[in-house]
Chain A
Amino acid sequence: MPNDVKTNGVEPRNESVMNLAGQLVRLMILVMVLLTALLVVSMLFDAPLGAKANPGHPINPAKAPWYFLGLQELVSYSAFIGGIVVPTLIVIVLLLIPYIDRKPVGIGVWFAKGRWIQNIFFGLCVLAMIVLIIIGMYFRGEYWNFILPWAN
């Protein structure tokens, strides 16, 4: 079996199969399912469009799109910490991750046992962000006051 893949000094397992057509077909199926789903969603739901911008009439609360609501929730505690410090730290830590955690353990394996500390750390960060987003989405009303979504 010819083996011209650059393997970075690692003996590859020899399960090499050339199956371009198969790969392409699988890609195409994935993309078509995705397109169909997006089309259906776009036929059923309209993108939001409010009244025309009016600098004289603030809306209350002015909520960001869902993916920024975690940060907006943090900003409501402190604009400096939530809006500047935390985002900057997140980006710096993200950029440094591969240079800090270099031990060749569990590469290419889902939830490898040897990496449980890293996985729990990252998982908790993701969970925290999701919880903040949910709070921002459903539990915040006028003046960013706490509300219960079901008590209307």
Chain B
Amino acid sequence: MGTTDKKSKNAAPKNGGHVIMDLPKNIYRSVIREKTTLRDQSESEPVSDNFFVHVLPVSPLEHPRFGYTLGLGVISMSLFLIVAATGMLMLFYYVPSTEQAYERIVDLNATVSFGRIVRNIHRWGAHGMVAAVFLHMCRVFFTGAYKPPREFSWVIGVFLFLVTLVFSYTGYLLTWDQLAYWGTTVGTSIAGYTPILGDTIQFLMLGGTTVGQETLLRFYVLHVFVLPLLMVTLLGLHFWRIRKDGGLAYQNGNERD
């Protein structure tokens, strides 16, 4: 494609165009970053110019092979998005108080439109995510994909795995049912066995000496604010490093044997 016809077809008119008539087109372009440059660039433009498909390699040395990744990274990511979306919906309803939390969930199940299915998706999606992330880690190990230059992708991955586990650990308490209460009681008591700092850590987790209102609030803040922030940051790093390290290992790693 030559520079001239790009210019004629895609460059914004000198007067900025018609505000209303061009509105859909302008919104579309602002999101997609379509043809904002007049330079002639390689075919990589559709990827490098667009954040939303940036996870894909610019020019894959081969098609991504399903038999290599088993799609597990993508599955982990999709499940995270689904769980985040359903969690956001439940945020509108949930109250992190020992008086109300349980009743709110009973209500969500029984009377709120689509409440039950949203909660079910959140719960099963979270279980699925733990499994998918773990299997993804196994996949990466058995394909030797953590070796240089991808060491740090693996390290970020280990933290992603831990964040996933803490996510489900903190979420478990929020239903404030018997299982949640006693599961957390057992779980936090284990922290008390840490040498020297045991009691301090346990007290910090509980906000007291037993599971109670302070614990619920702490777990809630971790679950809906701190961990999402951490997760998104780590995911950004993870994907960026994968791209910077030259794509997936099988695409250029074999020759180093």
The residues of A with any CB-CB pair to B shorter than 8 Å are: 2-8, 10-20, 22-24, 26-27, 30-31, 34-35, 38-39, 41-43, 45-55, 57-59, 62-68, 72, 75, 79-80, 83-84, 91, 94-95, 97-99, 101-112, 114-115, 118-119, 122-123, 126
Contact = CB atoms under 8 A, between A and B. Distances in A.
A122 B181 contact: no
B195 to A, nearest CB: 8
Contacts of B212: 55
Interface in B43-69: 43-44, 46-47, 53, 56-64, 66, 68
Interface size class of B (residues with CB under 8 A): 35 or more
Contact of A57 (B60, B64, B178): B178
What's the dominant secondary structure at chain B's contact region? helix
B179 A48 contact: yes
Given A79-B193, A105-B144, 7 more contacts: A4-B42, A7-B252, A52-B176, A104-B256, A108-B68, A122-B141, A123-B142
Given A35-B82, A47-B119, A30 B245 contact: no
A65 B180 CA distance: 10
B57 A114 contact: no
B142 A119 contact: yes
B147 interface: yes
23 contacts: A4-B58, A5-B59, A6-B244, A10-B246, A26-B66, A35-B82, A46-B109, A50-B178, A50-B180, A53-B177, A59-B178, A68-B187, A75-B190, A79-B190, A83-B193, A91-B158, A98-B151, A98-B152, A106-B257, A107-B145, A107-B256, A109-B254, A114-B257
Contacts of B144: 105-109, 112, 115, 118
B61 A110 contact: no
Contacts of A47: 119-120, 122-124
Contacts of A22: 63
Most chain B CB within a 10 A radius of its CB, from A18, A48, A105, A122: A18
A109 B250 contact: yes
Given A54-B178, A59-B178, A59-B179, A108 B253 contact: yes
B165 interface: yes
Nearest to B138: A126
B10 interface: no
A139 B45 CA distance: 57
A49 B194 CA distance: 31
Contacts of A38: 79, 82, 121, 124-125, 128
B18 to A, nearest CB: 31
A16 B254 CA distance: 15
B238 interface: no
Nearest to A24: B53
A24 B248 contact: no
Interface in B143-177: 143-152, 154-155, 158, 161-162, 165, 168-169, 172, 175-177
A45 B251 CA distance: 41
Contact of A68 (B46, B146, B169, B256): B169
Q: Which 3 A-B pairs have the closest CB atoms?
A: A108-B250, A108-B249, A107-B253
